[in-house]
Structure formats: C-alpha cells, structure tokens
Amino acid sequence: MVDLRQSLEKLTSFRPEKCFITTLYLRLTPEDRQNNKYLIIYKDLVKKKGKDLEALNLEKETLESVKEDIKNIQEFLSEPKNLEGCRGIAIFSCSKLGFFEYIKLPYVYRNRLMFSPDPLVREIAAIDEELGRIAILLLDRKHIRYFLMDITGIEEKLDFLEPLTTRAHRFHSGGALLKGAEGTFQYRMPSRVASPNVIQHGMGEWRFYTRLKEEWHKILKLASDALFEEWKRVYFDKLVIGGFLEEGLKQIENFLHPYVREKLVGYIEITPEEAKPHQVWERTINLLWQRDREQEKEIINELEELKGKGLAVNGTSRVLEMLAIGNVRTLILPEDFEKPGYLCPKSHLAFLKPECPLPDEKAIPLSDIVDEALEEALDQKATVEVIVDKELQKKVDGLAAFLRFKL
C-alpha cells in the first residue's frame, strides 16, 4: 500500500517561486472509462479553463510551463496502465521545475483543473478522513478472510480455513462416522433402535442439519472473535462483510461485539475462496457508493429542516457569502453544477459579482466558481456532500450549505 503521508509531505513541501502548479482531479468510474470518455472530459476542462488562464496575466515563462503541464497530463492519461486500480486521480505538475506527482483515489468530488502557486491537496486529505480505514471480513463454511482498506488501496491481513461438516454419500441412520469430515470438527452419530413404524433416515437428516447449523454458528462466533481481536490491534472506522447471503451470513450480527457491530456498513455478495483483492476493493467501493446515494434524500430533508431554523442556506450567492465569513459546516454540491463568477486573488474568495472585500483587490473572471468554492470549503475543514440524483438536484438552487452558527 502506498504511503499517503509521504506523498502529501512531498507535495506540501514543494514551494515553487514565481511558478504555478497545475492540479487536476479527474473521475475514473467505469462509466467514465467507456470509450476513454475521461480523455474527452479532460480536454473539455482544458478548453473551459483557457480563458481563466489568460485572465491570470502570467509571465511568459510561467504560462509556457502551464501549457506544458496540460500536455504532459494528457500524455499520462492516454496510457491506460497509469490509471489502473482507482476510480479517481489527482495529478500535480510543474514542468518548469520538472515536478510531476499523482495520487490514485477511490473517488473525487468533481472534475477540476486548476492553476495555483501551491499544490491543491485538501481534497485528498478530506477523502482520506471521510473514507477512513475499512475492514472487510469474508467468510463461508470453509474460509475466513480479513482485509484492511483505505484511500491507498487494500491488503489482506488474515486467511485461514475452517473445517466443514461434510458427507460423501446419502444420509445413514446412524452408527458410523460421517465420511468426508476433516479437522477438529468430526461428529459421530450415535447408534439407536427405532420403533417399527419410524423411518430412521429422517432422524439422521435432522441430526445432520442440526450439526450443520451448529457448525455454522461456531464459524460465525470464531470469525466475530477474530474480528474483535483485529479491531483491538488495528482500529477501523467501517466494516463490510462478504460471502453468500443465502447461507445466513447476516446472522453474524448476533455474534459481533457491540463496538464492532456499530461499524457495520453492509454486505457484499462474493465468493471468499476465489476473491481477489481488487475484486473485494471494487465491490466495497460499490457498496459505499450505494450507501452515499441512499443518504442523499436524508441530506435534502435535513437541508429543508435546518433552513427553517436559520442553520442552512440554499442558493449559490448565499453560500459564497457564508464561505466568506467561515460559516459553512457542510457544502452541498450537485454533481457537475457550474456557475461563472469572479475570484478575489488576495483573499481567495469567490463571488458572483466583481466585488472584493479588500480595497486594492481586483476581481478575476472565472468560467466556473464552484471549483474555488469547493477549495475554500475544504480549507475551512467543511465536509462535502455531492448530490447525484437528478430529482434531488432540483431541490438545490445551485449550491447549498449547512451552517456552523445561526445568523
């Protein structure tokens, strides 16, 4: 797994003088990868940001460096091998100083191409904190496997076999060891004499299925105990459990320690024995994505409720005003929403009108102020909620926000 701390330290310690850094955040979902759609998205970003680049009035040498950054980033994105194992990527380039770094991400908030004196790494830190460390427990009647996943990737930590009550032939009425049983769990069926009118096979099947159920409960107990020990050793923020749901996988909740059970996010359908780490990563990301989509309605309902209490605003201009005074707790951002406006370069604030708070500050026109609003929200350590559902987006008037204090 990549050491994220070292990568961030390298980026934050890079301080070029009289030179700009090009920062790109790009979504790489399966839909974006179809027919290299992400390359078209990148080229569109370059076209949209062309006017913004001219408005910066950069020195010729700096401008040439930025244009070289754009070219180098496109060449990097054109090689599919560079984009494996992620659903988003952050790229930082300063061609003048030979600087080029990238960090693969499980997702990004939105597609962004920005030019600034410093690398814009706040989104990476926010995603790292938001995603946290995720434990994935896979189990069936033969296997118990344990993975840890975070923003940098996934790694298997535990894999051991658990014996299975099996049979090599049809049920017998008793008296013989069940053939095929291995390991510590071996059961001997007691011999018995039934009354003339009793079919002995029925009792044999009932006892066998009872043993199967008992063994499954022992496996669930063993897995939950091992999970709790791992939680005490290495703390995790979320828990995902995978296997065959039809086998009664959700019964494990009856065995989980309360501290661990409250971390449970959901279940994934996967074959524990054959699961590869990248498959576990993919299905876990899909589950988390689905959970985020399910929470969108709750966010919109909370927006309406808090707005009535004076603790939320709905509207781009009002959100920008709240960002200007540091009063945004959560920024609510409809996916792909764009809005032209102006940037005040000294105060780093965005507005819809060319009016800056400092008297000697001249506003710079921007093709899209949402990128700057997002960056300012992250700088104020606000959380970000992206609304994907088209119907729910209609209830957001551009941007919206939960406030830290009532005005």
- For residue 57, the 8-state DSSP code is T
Q: Do domains 1-131 and 132-275 have the same CATH topology?
A: no
**What's the pLDDT score for residue 209?**
63
CATH class of the 132-275 domain in this structure: alpha beta
Question: Vertex 163, ends 159 and 166: CA angle to 5°?
Answer: 140
What mean pLDDT comes out for the span 201-215?
65
Q: Answer yes or no: is pLDDT of 184 > 70.
A: no
User: pLDDT tens digits, residue range 352-381?
Assistant: 999 888 888 888 899 999 999 999 999 999
Which of 119, 75, 68, 114 lies closest to 95 in space, CA to CA? Answer: 68
Residue 177's DSSP bridge partners are 188
Q: What's the CATH fold of domain 1-131?
A: 3.30.960
User: pLDDT tens digits, residue range 118-147?
Assistant: 899 999 999 999 999 999 999 988 888 999
135 close to 153: Cβ distance less than 8 angstroms: no
Residue 347 or residue 44, greater confidence: 44
All structural domains of the chain with their residue ranges: 1-131, 132-275, 295-407
Neighbouring residues of 155: CB distance < 8 A, sequence distance ≥ 6? 1, 147, 148, 149, 277
Rounded Cα gap, residues 251 and 261, in angstroms: 12
**What's the pLDDT score for residue 187?**
32
What mean pLDDT comes out for the span 91-102?
93
392 close to 401: Cβ distance less than 8 angstroms: no
**What's the pLDDT score for residue 311?**
96
Neighbouring residues of 366: CB distance < 8 A, sequence distance ≥ 6? 52, 55, 340, 341, 342, 343, 350, 372
Q: Which helix (DSSP H) or strand (DSSP E) does residue 397 occupy?
A: none
Highest mean pLDDT among 75-84, 186-195, 348-357: 75-84
For the entire predicted model, the pTM comes to: 0.84
**What's the pLDDT score for residue 207?**
66
User: pLDDT tens digits, residue range 327-342?
Assistant: 999 999 999 899 999 9
What mean pLDDT comes out for the span 225-231?
90
The pLDDT > 90 percentage for the chain reads 64
Which of 322, 320, 347 lies closest to 405 in space, CA to CA? Answer: 322
Instruction: From the options 3.90.25.10, 3.40.50.150, 3.40.50.1100, 3.30.1330.30, give the CATH code of 295-407.
Output: 3.30.1330.30
What mean pLDDT comes out for the span 302-307?
95
- For residue 247, the 8-state DSSP code is G
